[in-house]
Structure 1
Amino acid sequence: MIIDDSKADARKMHEIALLGSPTGLLSRRSFLTGSAAGLGALALGGCTTDGMSLAEAQKLYGPVPEEKFPIPAIDITHVDPKYFRRTVAYNTKEAPGTIIVDPANYYVYRVEDGGNATRYGANVGRDGFRWNGDAYVGRKSEWATWTPPKEMIKRQPEAAKYARGMPGGLDNPLGARTLHLYQNGAYTLYTIYASLDAESIGNGITSGCIGLLTQDMIHLYNQTPVKTKVVVLPA
């Protein structure tokens, strides 16, 4: 397994969080046990500091109204522009389609043809919950149900009301799309999930899961079939 020494706390995990949920029903970040420092608002003018215009970034992370639960636009002023989705040169021996997670730099790559990759900004596991190794996508979910583990309920009794599962929606910690990671036919209990929490990107806040901005996660999800290889590099 790719679960580290803190697996007793993370085995059923998903103490992942969302700041300022649109409906106010549940704040994912209220279910975090560590405090991740926000990036703070960026001073954005006509262009970002990473070569993408503000208009381009706003379009990339704009609302997705056609979803089952309409997705709001991301407030990109809370995202460091270096984490915006883009195509980059990427040297790897892994086959096109492979997902590579670089937790040290808060990036997720989807390997493309021609020595390139699509790069996404990410949030990753906090101290004590980091892991690395090879896995694969064993299952995919849209608007998945989230169930807090008993260890979490013991620490945070307010989560007990979801002991039988929290239905999918904007406040659900798994978000609009989830890739469930497996090894040797067994669910590792780790995922790549969708987040509306702009300030989480570039931070270690989860119990080992990897979060992408919702618009990025939908983009990755749509190109990722079951059995896709996932490589998580050492942090």
Structure 2
Amino acid sequence: MLTLEALSFAVHGKVLLSSMTSIIPDNALTCLIGANGAGKTTLLRILTGELQATSGRFLIDHTDARSLSQSQIAHHFSIIPQDVQPPPHLTVLELVALGRFHPYGALWWRLSHRDHDIVDACLNLCQVDQLSERRVDQLSGGEQQRAWLAFGLAQEKRFLLLDETLGGLDVLAKQSFFKLLKQIASEGKGIVLTTHDLELVADYADRVVVLSHGRITYEGPPNAHLHNFLTSNGRQ
């Protein structure tokens, strides 16, 4: 579980996040929604240790993240950023295998038996096992996103953070991706997705956090209260 306690962030005198207090549970698909510039990406960068909060704190379970190094924080999170591009000529299998790489472990071309098992399981779960020998840059948008998801899962981190990863996908591909995220979350992964797809959020999210100008303006399940909030405030 992640706990935000009065978390704020400012740079050059500009406040990007203001007094955020929230809980992000394990075993759930949490969707962050809000207009561009609302603070979604900034929050993800703080969670991964890339940025330090100006004030307040966040806890990983009961551990204050301020007591951890960036590398220690990174042990808890996989992140797939916006507009991520695969290295040229990399196959799906090679990309997912890179998820098993860490600076002090075996290189991707010297995977252990356990590493191979994990890679195979992630390929199967994300339904890209039949594409394993295909180059990632030659796949469709939906296939690429599934390959990147398998890469993130292969890292075996507790939380998976996805930042606007569905841009350019058609409605059916987005729906299929949300279904997969829902399944993965139900099996024990904490997933945080930033998105603008409100209809799919309503259908698949376990929890929704609405950001506006760096503040949390709504949090809870995607129910009638969320619909009424978005309607009364003009869709975020």
TM-score of Structure 1 vs Structure 2, range by shorter chain: under 0.3
TM-score of the aligned structures, taking structure 2 as reference length:
0.23
Determine which structure has more spread, i.e. the larger CA radius of gyration: 2
TM-score of the aligned structures, taking structure 1 as reference length:
0.23
